[in-house]
Homo-oligomer: A and B are copies of this chain.
Amino acid sequence: MEPYKLFDAEYKFTCLIWDNEPINSTDLVKLSQAVLGWKKSTTYTVLRKLCKRGILKNEEATVTSIVKKEDAQKYESQMVVEKSFNGSLPQFLTAFLGGKGISNEEAEELKRIIEEATKS
């Protein structure tokens, strides 16, 4: 498995940690129960797998992330562009915007982001 790949359930779960770390493992069990409807054993099972893969860490009942949200998101975004759009960001953008329009403000924000990434 590639380093950062998170499956759907794993992603939702890891989001809880990103938003609340550092978090005590028993509290995490309660949070998962509340937000995802998971039983205690489910939480620990998923947690252990993510720790084994180097995504999370659980030390003395304190859970933190090793891989950060930005890195996981970056990986995710690049995977989808690669797999479904020939690695072409323009193709992705075209498909996403396909047909519908965006507001001027949104357009400005997007262009600003692009500016920022442009090598002078």
Tell yes or no: A3 within 8 A of B by CB: no
Are A113's CB and B93's CB within 8 A? yes
Which residue of B has the minimal Cβ distance to A99?
Answer: B74
Q: How far is the CB of A99 from chain B (nearest CB, A)?
A: 8
The main secondary structure of chain A at its interface with chain B is helix
Chain-B contact segment, one of A20-28, A34-42, A56-64, A102-110? A102-110
Which residue of B has the minimal Cβ distance to A15?
Answer: B84
By a CB distance below 8 angstroms, the chain B residues around A104 are 118-119
Are A96's CB and B101's CB within 8 A? no
Q: How far is the CB of A35 from chain B (nearest CB, A)?
A: 16
Are A95's CB and B118's CB within 8 A? no
Q: How far is the CA of A100 from the CA of B75 in the complex (A)?
A: 13
Are A90's CB and B109's CB within 8 A? yes
Tell yes or no: A1 within 8 A of B by CB: no
Are A106's CB and B89's CB within 8 A? yes
